[in-house]
Amino acid sequence: MKHWTELRSALMVARYGTVSAAASELGVHRATVNRHIETLESALNARLFHRHAQGYTLTDAGQDMMEIAGRAEEMFIDLEGRSRGRESLISGRLVFTSLSGVAPLIVPALAAFQKSHPNIDLEFIAEARLARLEHGEAHVAFRVGAKPDFADYVVLPFKQVHFSLYASTDYIARYGMPKPGEYEGHRFVGAVGLPSPVPFMGWMTQNVDPEALALRTTNQYVIQNAVCAGLGLGFLAEHDVEGLPELVKVLPSDQTTSTPLWIVTHVDLHRTGKIQEFLRFTKAIQD
């Protein structure tokens, strides 16, 4: 690849923020890195970095360069692994991202994968913001809800996230066990009538009078604590509360109160060895 050496130098500067740090990582003199950046900017006819006293930051053209260079680096690493045999394919860094709330469904698969492939270096980014896989922010994303519809994404099913209606034993002692469809006189925790990706919002809106809300909230952690404290009935993720003795399932999950969890990869990296091995592994443990 023409200018790959220069592109790799620019990639290191983008990652580490200074020419000195990039030169140290590459094992070359800082003058070499400067020359590589100048050569690349001349070839592309665009400035890739803003130069500051504190270091280098990417321009818009530099952001495009970072995206392409990051993909190219992954592919070169994969190619090197192929030349050394299959064991090398399942080593190196693998970055995952998801909402923290579904981590209990994901982490066991990561732990089993790491046990089978101890040379893999796993990183898990748990945040509400959706990682931009096209910019190399993560290798694999787990997304909840409707199937992601992006032309450059490869999307595969992973698991279902089930939400059931729960009450605490203390609540039942005070108000009695609700019968399906008979909720008059009962109190709830959550929200009604709001646009929300959670699958049980429709059920809440159809079945719960706003006046019956003992506590209004859309935060699942708050809902769980409020239900456990006996404030009212509320929908909780089954994987979060399984085995808690103070909770009783009032209404089991069905298709209207569950949602799929998807594995998402970017098409450019989907065929790399370590991602393919992870996908094969997750399919095998689910079958």
67 within domain boundaries: no
**Looking at the structure, do residues 254 and 267 belong to the same domain, yes or no?**
no
**Looking at the structure, do residues 269 and 146 belong to the same domain, yes or no?**
yes
Q: What is the CATH number of the domain that holds 266?
A: 3.40.190.10
Cβ-defined contacts of 82-88 (< 8 Å, 24+): 82/273, 86/273, 87/119
Q: What is residue 20's predicted lDDT score, i.e. its pLDDT?
A: 83
42 within domain boundaries: yes
**Looking at the structure, do residues 52 and 88 belong to the same domain, yes or no?**
no
69 within domain boundaries: no
54 within domain boundaries: yes
Q: What is the CATH number of the domain that holds 16?
A: 1.10.10.10
**Looking at the structure, do residues 254 and 265 belong to the same domain, yes or no?**
no
Range of weakest confidence among 53-67, 104-118, 253-267: 53-67
Q: How many domains does the chain have?
A: 3
177 within domain boundaries: yes
**Looking at the structure, do residues 213 and 239 belong to the same domain, yes or no?**
yes
71 within domain boundaries: no
What are the pLDDT digits (tens) for 140-162?
999 998 888 888 889 999 999 99
Structural domain containing residue 114 = 84-152+260-286
70 within domain boundaries: no
What are the pLDDT digits (tens) for 14-52?
888 888 888 877 888 888 888 988 988 888 888 988 888
Query: pTM of this prediction?
Result: 0.66
